[in-house]
Structures are given as C-alpha cells and as structure tokens.
Amino acid sequence: MMERRLTLRLRRVAVGRLRGVGMETVYHKIIITTRPESASFAMGELQNYDRGIRPVGDLAVGVKEIYLPGGYGKLLADAPPLIFVRHMFPVQYFAVGEYAAADILAGVAIPDDGGAFSVQMRGDTDPGLIRRLENALEERNYVRDDRYPRWVLSLYAHEGGLYAGASRCGDNRSAWNGGTPRYKRADFISRAECKLMEAMETFGLRPRPHARALDLGAAPGGWSKVLLEAGFHVTAVDPGALDKRLAHHPRLSYVCATAQRFLAARDKAEIFDAVVNDMKMDMYDSVRVMLDAAPFLAPGGVAVMTLKLAKGQGLRKINKALALLEKKYRVGDTRQLFHNRDEVTVLLYRLSGPAAP
C-alpha cells in the first residue's frame, strides 16, 4: 500500500513543476475537447499563441492531452482568443491502476475560496468514485451544485489511467461536463434553439425588462421562441412562415420579408436591444447583413450571429469576417459551441457613437 501511494505521489509531482518554496506549482498539461472536425483548427490557434505547445496524445475523438511550455496559469493570464477549444481543464494529478479519493483530492489544486462545486467525469466513468469524491468534499463543507458550480473537479479515465484537475468553472470554458450541454425540452421548434440557448448561457446574456430583439431570418422560429422565453419582445423577419405555435404570442411581431429588404425599408429610428442572425448563407453575405443591421441596434446593444463555414474555411476566413464586423461592432467573443456544426457563434456589441462609414 505504501509503495502504491509513493508511486502516486511521484506521478503527481511529474504532472507539474514545483518552482520553489512559496511559489505556485506550474501545471504543464491540459485536456482539451473540440469538435472532432475542428481539432486541427484548435491546435492551430493554440500554436499561434505559443509555438511550443504540442499534442501529447488523443484520449478520444476530439479529446487531446496538450503540453504547455509556459504552464496552465500563463495560458489563463494571457487569455488568447480560442474559438475551437470547447472545454479544457488542467492535469494536476495522474495515476494508473487504483486511485483513492483522498489521493485525488490531495493532488489537485482546489480553489482556496471554495464555493459550490461539481465533480465531472468522462471516459471510463466510475459512479462510485464520483460519489466518494462528492462525499469527501461535502464533509469539508463544500456545497455540491452540478448546474451552477463555482469550480469543477474534472476527471478523465483512459486505458487504466486517471487524469484530474480542479479549476474555476469559467476557466473550463463551459459549466457542462466536457462542454456538452444537455437541454431537455419536449417542444422544440428546431434544433437551432439549442444553439441560441447555449450561446446565451455561455456569453451570460440576460435581457433587461421590456427589451426588444430583432431576429433576422427567423423561420421556422426556433431562435424567436428562445428570445420570447427569455423575456424579449421580438420582431421576427423572414419570407418563410413561422411555426404555428408562435402565431398568437403577444410579444411577437412577424414581418414577411428578407432581412435585406427589411433593413433597407425600415425606419432607422426603430432601435433594438439585441439583433440575432442564424441565416444559412455565405459568411461574408451574413456579415454584410449584420453591418446593415448595426444602425438598428442601440449603442452598447448586443448581437449574436453564426458564421457558416464552407469546407476548408478556418481561422483565416473567420478572422477576415471578424475584421469586417469590427467596422461597426466590438467583437465580444467567438466560439464553436457544442451545438454548432460547420459554423461558429459570434457575440457582438454595438459601438457607441455614430456608425463607421
């Protein structure tokens, strides 16, 4: 037993490099999760940040162990733009074979200020181990909250080995296990609803009372439905019909027109607090629509759009589209969320003052 514990301790130290007395341990490995088709893009953006970053190995499709020369803390501090990394956690503990809850908790860096926690495990999951970890943390007066945790103990079991790390929920890039939201609804109009639900959750979007939203290319109405449920008054624009379940909603106005015709004909004195666009069109055409929509958005207002990626389009094309959007918006974030397919979701804020020419 003593020999096994010694082996575990040595492996924990090997995960990170102790820099000296009173200084933080530097953790040089992380586990990232991406959409499988976008894994090369994710590695590309990480290596654009630091050419020394390299993959160590694949744990599953879309799940990679990554080596960071500068360490996990430096990555968080530098906060490089990461579009295709959907989820990540630091490797602070690694063991092969049997592993006890006490060993895991001794090896990870639990945040000093604690707060609500969640234990999230993937790979070869072990419900018994999860429960033992939860019980041990609750005995230390931590509060379990799987839906809105402040920090997460992430575990990944692979081929007899266990990777573990504790990190703040926001640093993981998603509160969901592996960045995989599970929305349970019985009344979906379309799968696209999940995209906007995930975007609003990820970006922390909450409407003020009586806020107004413009949904461009709204049919069949999935995004309009999500906006209505969030409390917006919605103007839905599309030449196609909306789902009949939205027909008599008191906070919905439907305009039968293309987005381009609506924007060209509408009085620009009509201002919205939010503009959304999930239209299936070339990304640069969609960008032009959003530039035309900018005058309708209140200064400081928010816009959410998807950029559709044709085969082979990656970071360079996305960055070109974002540069065009910056003529009239501040780009808040760009992510390939779990519910995105060949697309990315962009969060935009209307620039204060007059629009750029």
Let me know whether 337 and 214 are in one domain. Answer: yes
Residue 22: per-residue pLDDT: 39
Domain assignment present for residue 203? The answer is yes
Radius of gyration of the chain (CA): 23
Let me know whether 9 and 120 are in one domain. Answer: yes
Domain assignment present for residue 357? The answer is no
Residue 24: per-residue pLDDT: 58
pLDDT at 188 over 60: yes
Task: Give phi and psi for 169, each to the nearest 5.
Answer: -55, -45
pLDDT digit string, tens, across residues 127-179: 999 999 999 999 998 999 998 899 999 999 999 999 999 999 999 999 999 99
Domain assignment present for residue 228? The answer is yes
Return the SS3 of 48: helix
In a 10 Å sphere around its CB, with 0-12 CB exposed, 13-18 middle and 19+ buried, how is residue 73 labelled? middle
Which of 153, 179, 205 is where one domain is finished?
A: 179
CATH of the domain at 35: 3.30.2130.30
Distance between CA atoms of residues 307 and 284, nearest Å: 8
Let me know whether 218 and 340 are in one domain. Answer: yes
Domain assignment present for residue 246? The answer is yes
Let me know whether 276 and 169 are in one domain. Answer: no
Which of 130, 149, 179 is where one domain is finished?
A: 179
| Contact of 153 with 121, CB cutoff 8 Å | no
Alpha carbon distances (Å) from 328 to 49, 296, 336: 27, 12, 22
Strand order in 329-335's β-sheet?
Answer: 252-255, 233-237, 212-216, 272-277, 297-308, 343-350, 329-335
Nearest to 155 by CA among 222, 220, 103: 103
The total of other beta-carbon atoms located within 10 Å of residue 62's CB is 19
Distance between CA atoms of residues 332 and 204, nearest Å: 11
In a 10 Å sphere around its CB, with 0-12 CB exposed, 13-18 middle and 19+ buried, how is residue 272 labelled? buried
194 Ramachandran zone, left/alpha/beta (phi>0; psi -120 to 50): alpha
User: For residue 82, what is the DSSP state?
Assistant: -
Residue 16: per-residue pLDDT: 43
Which of 179, 212, 242 is where one domain is finished?
A: 179
| Contact of 332 with 349, CB cutoff 8 Å | yes
Distance between CA atoms of residues 24 and 90, nearest Å: 14
List beta partners, residue 121. Answer: 155
User: For residue 180, what is the DSSP state?
Assistant: -
Domain assignment present for residue 355? The answer is no
Distance between CA atoms of residues 104 and 156, nearest Å: 12
Let me know whether 157 and 305 are in one domain. Answer: no
Q: Compute the average pLDDT of residues 252-272.
A: 91
CATH of the domain at 309: 3.40.50.150
Let me know whether 170 and 204 are in one domain. Answer: no
Let me know whether 136 and 196 are in one domain. Answer: no
Q: Compute the average pLDDT of residues 320-341.
A: 96
Let me know whether 50 and 165 are in one domain. Answer: yes
Q: What percent of the chain has pLDDT over 70?
A: 91
Distance between CA atoms of residues 34 and 338, nearest Å: 8
Let me know whether 164 and 300 are in one domain. Answer: no
CA 41 to chain centre: 16
Q: What percent of the chain has pLDDT over 90?
A: 79
Let me know whether 173 and 197 are in one domain. Answer: no
Let me know whether 121 and 197 are in one domain. Answer: no
Residue 11: per-residue pLDDT: 41
Let me know whether 198 and 346 are in one domain. Answer: yes
Domain assignment present for residue 45? The answer is yes
Residue 128: per-residue pLDDT: 96
| Contact of 305 with 290, CB cutoff 8 Å | yes
Q: Output the CA torsion sign for 276, 280, 284, 285.
A: negative
Domain assignment present for residue 132? The answer is yes
CA-CA-CA-CA torsion for 125, 126, 127, 132, nearest 10 degrees? -130
Containing domain of residue 316, as a range? 192-350
| Contact of 252 with 236, CB cutoff 8 Å | yes
pLDDT at 14 over 50: no
Distance between CA atoms of residues 62 and 34, nearest Å: 5
Q: Number of structural domains, the chain? A: 2
